[in-house]
Amino acid sequence: MDGVSVVRDGHVVEIVLDRAEALNALSTAMARRLAAVCREVGDDPSARAVVLSAAGEKAFCVGADLKERNGMTDAEIFAQRPVFRAAFGGVLGLPQPVIAAVHGYALGGGCEFALSADMIVADETAVFGLPEVGVGLVPGGGGTQLALRRLGPGRAADLVFTGRRVKIDEAVAYGLADRRVAAGTAREEALAIAGQIARNSPTAVRAAKRAMRLGGGVGLDAALDLEENAWRTAAGSPDRREGIAAFNEKRTPNWS
């Protein structure tokens, strides 16, 4: 439906970029659909982990649909901007842990979707890049800021200013891939990780993600206060009581 599909398996939600015939290039309709899906998933308390994957064999996502943009006026390009920001912001703002399962090309917006995830699982075919400056644009899906935070200033500048492509060996060395897997297995590995996350306390996991996301851009004292808030959120919840009881009773926790 408009290039995005959703697969649910228990507490794990898989959001699929599903426009393989266009290498999952992000169109306006696809961006609208993705933003709506992220709102629905983010508001679902039973969703505990999210996998962002892609259909087809050649690409995770090659970024914005430049064929669509080729016929747009300046006014239409600027009108498209909030739609795209909502799509990228939707992925970045999900309260559940997000694992990107990357294969093939992850270029421009595709690379930015991966950077928006909490973890990136990439297979041997993965190729990352932020080539926007080559078409007269700046990465606009969070690329400049997310690359800066994940890779550091020098490596972020390397990717953004040159627009070059990075294959899997360099992606691992740069920190663009957290887990490297065999070709064709990124989705399987990402779903396995999501399943492991989903077995943990959803209250604790969401609180931990919030502390980690907000703590990255502040000083240590403020960051530790964020951790304190996360700890108190979890410790004051029914999940803490259930988790400790289940441990002592040697059974699987039944999270509320």
Instruction: Say which residues have a Cβ less than 8 Å from residue 24's Cβ, sequence separation at least 6.
Output: 3, 17, 18, 54, 55, 56, 59, 60, 61, 62, 110
Residues 117-141: tens digit of each pLDDT: 999 999 999 999 999 999 999 999 9
The average pLDDT across 25-44 equals: 97
Q: Which helix (H) or strand (E) holds 165?
A: strand 165-167
**Which of the residues are catalytic?**
64, 109, 112, 132
- d(CA 129, CA 168) in angstroms, rounded, equals 11
Q: For the beta carbon of residue 46, count every other beta carbon within 10 angstroms.
A: 10
The average pLDDT across 34-63 equals: 97
Residue 249's pLDDT is what? Answer: 97
Residues 77-123: tens digit of each pLDDT: 999 999 999 999 999 999 999 999 999 999 999 999 999 999 999 99
Bridge partners of 128, per DSSP, are: 106, 166
Which pair of tokens denotes residue 196?
Answer: 């492991």
Q: Which helix (H) or strand (E) holds 6?
A: strand 4-9
Residue 22's pLDDT is what? Answer: 97
Residues 157-213: tens digit of each pLDDT: 999 999 999 999 999 999 999 999 999 999 999 999 999 999 999 999 999 999 999
Residue 217's pLDDT is what? Answer: 83
